[in-house]
Amino acid sequence: MRKMIIAGNWKMNKTPSEAAALASAIVEKNPSPECEVVLCVPFVDLFEAKKATEGSKIKVGAENIHWAESGAFTGEISGAMLKEIGVDYVIIGHSERRQYFGETDETVNARIKAALNSGIKVILCVGELEAEREDGKTEEVVSRQVKAALEGVSTEDMANIVIAYEPVWAIGTGKTATSQQAEEVCALIRDLVKGLYNETVADDLTVQYGGSMNAKNAAELLAMKDIDGGLIGGASLKPDDFTVIINAAK
Ligand code: PGA
């Protein structure tokens, strides 16, 4: 049975005290969510987010993870560090990391393996640039990203992977993919996973849509057959809007 998952991606927003207030507000408004809810927050906010969500059904995620277990990697954070705080999920391969921080298909794959080895679930982000869509390369780009990211990931480990389809042109732009556009690529991802693994893995896989999902468009996107949740940036910082999205994911 595939799970509906609504995840907030706070990006580089909220100091620890602000994070405590925001996470508490989200917990208060969502005492018994009908889907899985995850707050992916900056590293320095993880403690506060964990404290605020304690005893609730809301899970906490990080926004990145390093591939090594430990060592001389100044400024990086390991899986063991995240696990000890009680982090349940980690976003890997977000387009902002691919665009601004040199993330490649290879480093995405290495980070995924580190997360799985640490017992942390992965939200793998894939998606095409606007120019790639215009050139008719969406399928090619998304297929390459998914295949490379999952290289060497076992069938059993696929139970700990969520894939978020995030067209880069829709992120933070207010330009949402139409529900048909989003459904088409989410279905393509599921089909690809079926080819790489098997039908059960594909059926059980949670495929999220992300990119300007908000309180107004969430219900329509989430009603699509192959869209099993959302990765939400801007709207996840607004407790009322985020709650509307959570309630739309039944
Ligand atoms: P957005 O961001 O909802 O602000 O477009 C989504 C994301 O980057 O995950």
**Cα–Cα distance for residue pair 83/144, rounded to 1 Å:** 29
pLDDT of residue 96: 97
Atom number, ligand 1, closest to the C-alpha of residue 235: 3
Give how far the C-alpha of residue 183 lies from the chain's centroid of Cα atoms, to the nearest Å. Answer: 17
Calculate mean pLDDT across residues 211-236.
97
Q: How confident is the model at residue 62 (pLDDT cuts 50, 70, 90)?
A: very high
34 is catalytic: no
Burial class (CB in 10 A: 0-12, 13-18, 19+), 212: buried
Radius of gyration of the chain (CA): 17
Q: Tell me: the pLDDT tens digits for 36-61?
A: 999 999 999 999 999 999 999 999 99
For ligand 1, residues with CB inside 6 Å are: 9, 166, 171-172, 210-213, 231-235
Ligand 1 atom 3: residue of nearest CA = 233
Tell me, in angstroms, the distance from the centre of ligand 1 to residue 72's CA: 32
Count Cα atoms within 13 angstroms, Cβ side, for 115.
31
**Cα–Cα distance for residue pair 227/11, rounded to 1 Å:** 22
Is residue 250 predicted with pLDDT exceeding 90?
Answer: no
Calculate mean pLDDT across residues 122-130.
97
The amino acid that residue 54 corresponds to is E
Tell me, in angstroms, the distance from the centre of ligand 1 to residue 215's CA: 13
pLDDT of residue 43: 98
pLDDT of residue 175: 85
Is residue 174 predicted with pLDDT exceeding 90?
Answer: no
Probe residue for ligand 1, chosen from 41, 171, 241 as the CB with the greatest number of ligand atoms within 8 Å: 171
Can you count the helices (H) and strands (E) in the chain? 11, 8
Tell me, in angstroms, the distance from the centre of ligand 1 to residue 123's CA: 13
Ligand 1 atom 7: residue of nearest CA = 233
Which of 63, 96, 132, 166 is an active site residue?
Answer: 166
Atom number, ligand 1, closest to the C-alpha of residue 173: 5
**How many other C-beta atoms are found inside a 10 Å radius of the C-beta of residue 75?**
5
28 is catalytic: no
- 200: tokens are 């059960």
Which of 36, 48, 94, 183 is an active site residue?
Answer: 94
Q: Tell me: the pLDDT tens digits for 81-114?
A: 999 999 999 999 999 999 999 999 999 999 999 9
Which stretches does DSSP call E strand in 22-88?
36-40, 59-62
pLDDT of residue 84: 98
CA proximity to 112, closest of 164, 148, 61: 148
Is residue 1 predicted with pLDDT exceeding 90?
Answer: no
Tell me, in angstroms, the distance from the centre of ligand 1 to residue 13's CA: 13
pLDDT of residue 191: 98
Phi-psi region of 151 (alpha: psi -120 to 50; beta: other; left: phi over 0): beta
Is residue 176 predicted with pLDDT exceeding 90?
Answer: no
Q: What angle do CA 38, 127, 10 make, to 5 degrees?
A: 30
